[in-house]
């Protein structure tokens, strides 16, 4: 199993969960800090199904579109579904614009499947998912999946009960994926992604959507060694030098490696980092535009957390800076769902900039690998068994969907 995150301070490997619950404990006992339960004492969920925690959305503070605007947007999306291929090939700019505005909640699941192509893949693979569920699966993967089920959004009504329908569906999606991609197997970071998908669509649709995301967007992210994630971390850091030189210099001087803070952001597609309304808007754009959205949002997070002399002065040490980047207490700006996306388009970072930085980091890694192998060859007195260096799967990622 590929590790999704660095070990947490409490010794639980890779567990980013801040809230935990007992399956026998009533939600009525949760404090107001985890979301109001209402005057009646009955569990009060937000409209996304959360009882509390960082993902809980206060109904009184939530920004809502007027019903008339929402209905107009729904009509436009329904029209696009009728001629989807034409819209994607001839009018993609308009599709992107509508995704950036936010997909209507009632059509989000359908739109996501169209955007990533999972609806087509599922149609072409009838019976495959059911066949996967009948197989035993790799015992190690099955054991790891079972251990992680309780960690996925424990304050969401769907995953509240141990062994309930939500956790059972999550198990099925993750087990099926570990069989579908046996070389990758199961990685912890797949679980919150699968959980988010299950909040929006039936189990088989969620499975094929997860397959599409791993195959087309997050290529190599869940492979052993996490080389693809490390590469994207280096790309992010290179882009930071262009967009915010002072923050870049601060982090470089403190020897903070990208893998220390961006792993969970990218591997979980920010599901564990941002308010839920922001997460959904981000996913609307991510499934339309690709991984460039993750880089833009990552840069906004870094700038918001550290840019400015006052903020930098509050992070005099390596540990202070890393703690700031964990976002245990979200900056107030993040509660405005428009803020991150507005700022991400003001970065001055183009798609060409991302492509150039990606190629630069591939070449740098390839050169470092070749130098290492040359040194190994030299020390072995010209042994013939040493392979020539290459960039592994990293160079293939330049061709991924962006």
- Can you spell out the DSSP letters for 259-307? GGTSHHHHHTTTTTTS-HHHHHHHHHHHHHH-THHHHHHHHHHHHHHH-
Structure confidence at residue 348 (pLDDT): 87
**How many beta carbons lie within 10 A of that of residue 401, not counting itself?**
15
**Residue 7 exposed, middle or buried by CB count within 10 Å (0-12, 13-18, 19+):** exposed
> Which residue from 84, 187, 204, 87 is spatially nearest to 141, judged by alpha carbons?
187
Q: Which of 306, 328, 334 has the alpha carbon at shortest distance from 16?
A: 328
Q: What is the pLDDT along the chain (402 residues), one digit of tens a residue?
A: 555 544 333 333 333 333 333 333 333 333 333 333 444 455 589 999 999 888 889 888 888 889 999 999 999 999 999 999 999 999 999 999 999 999 999 999 999 999 999 999 999 999 999 999 999 999 999 999 999 999 999 999 999 999 899 999 999 999 999 999 999 999 999 999 999 999 999 999 999 999 999 999 999 999 888 999 999 999 999 999 999 999 999 999 999 999 999 999 999 999 999 999 999 999 999 999 999 999 999 999 999 999 999 999 999 999 999 999 999 888 888 888 899 999 999 998 999 999 999 999 999 999 988 888 888 887 775 544 433 333 344 444 444 445
Residue 101 phi/psi, 5-degree rounding, is -70, -25
What pLDDT is stored for residue 371 in this prediction? 85
Instruction: State how far Cα 205 lies from the chain centre.
Output: 18
State how far the Cα of 71 lies from the Cα of 87, in Å rounded to an integer: 20
87 Cα distance to chain centroid: 26
Q: How far apart are CA 12 and CA 372, in angstroms?
A: 34
Helix axis angle, 292-306 to 227-243, nearest 10°:
60
Predicted pLDDT at 64:
86
Check: CB of residue 55 under 8 Å from CB of residue 19: no
Phi, psi (rounded to 5 degrees) for 146: -60, -35
Question: For the chain, what is the radius of gyration of the CA atoms?
Answer: 22
Residue 43, pLDDT score: 58
User: What pLDDT does residue 30 have?
Assistant: 38
| Closest CA relative to residue 301, chosen from 281, 325, 272 | 325
46 — alpha (psi -120 to 50), left (phi > 0) or beta? beta
d(CA 234, CA 258): 6
**Rounded CA gap, 391 and 124, in Å?**
33
> What pLDDT was estimated at residue 4?
52
> What is the structure's pLDDT at 382?
53
Contact 110, 202 (CB under 8 A): no
User: Which pTM does this prediction carry?
Assistant: 0.84
β-partners of residue 2 are 187
| Three-state secondary structure call for residue 2 | strand
DSSP structure string for 146-206: HHHGGGS-TTBTTS-STTSHHHHHHHHHHHHHHHHSTTT--BTTHHHHHHHHHTTS-HHHH
């Amino acid at each position: 199993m590929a590790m999704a995150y660095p070990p947490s301070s409490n010794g639980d490997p890779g567990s980013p969960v801040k809230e935990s619950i007992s399956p026998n404990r009533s939600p009525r006992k949760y404090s107001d800090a985890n979301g109001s339960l209402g005057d009646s004492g009955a569990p009060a969920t937000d409209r996304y199904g959360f009882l509390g925690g960082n993902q809980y959305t206060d109904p009184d503070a939530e920004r809502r579109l007027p019903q008339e605007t929402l209905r107009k947007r729904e009509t436009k999306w329904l029209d696009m579904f009728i001629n989807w291929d034409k819209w994607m090939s001839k009018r993609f700019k308009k599709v992107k614009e509508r995704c950036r505005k936010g997909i209507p909640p009632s059509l989000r699941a359908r739109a996501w499947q169209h955007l990533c192509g999972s609806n087509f893949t599922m149609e072409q693979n009838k019976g495959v998912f059911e066949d996967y569920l009948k197989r035993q699966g790799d015992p190690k993967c099955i054991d790891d999946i079972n251990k992680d089920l309780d960690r996925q959004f424990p304050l969401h009504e769907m995953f509240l009960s141990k062994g309930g329908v939500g956790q059972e569906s999550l198990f099925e999606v993750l087990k099926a994926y570990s069989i579908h991609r046996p070389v990758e197997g199961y990685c912890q970071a797949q679980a919150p992604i699968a959980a988010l998908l299950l909040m929006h669509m039936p189990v088989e649709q969620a499975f094929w959507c997860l397959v599409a995301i791993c195959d087309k967007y997050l290529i190599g992210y869940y492979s052993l060694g996490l080389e693809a994630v490390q590469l994207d971390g280096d790309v992010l850091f290179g882009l930071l030098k262009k967009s915010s030189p002072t923050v870049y210099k601060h982090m470089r001087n403190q020897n903070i490696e990208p893998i220390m803070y961006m792993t969970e952001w990218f591997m979980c597609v920010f599901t564990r980092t941002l308010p839920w309304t922001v997460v959904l808007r981000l996913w609307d754009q991510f499934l339309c535009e690709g991984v460039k959205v993750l880089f833009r949002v990552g840069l906004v997070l870094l700038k918001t957390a550290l840019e400015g002399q006052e903020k930098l002065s509050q992070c005099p040490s390596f540990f202070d800076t890393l703690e700031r980047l964990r976002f245990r207490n979200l900056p107030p700006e993040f509660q405005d769902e428009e803020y991150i996306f507005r700022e991400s388009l003001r970065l001055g970072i183009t798609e060409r900039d991302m492509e150039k930085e990606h190629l630069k980091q591939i070449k740098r890694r390839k050169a470092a690998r070749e130098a290492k192998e040359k040194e190994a060859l030299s020390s072995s007195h010209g042994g013939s068994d040493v392979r020539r260096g290459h960039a592994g799967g990293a160079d293939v990622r330049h061709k991924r969907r962006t």
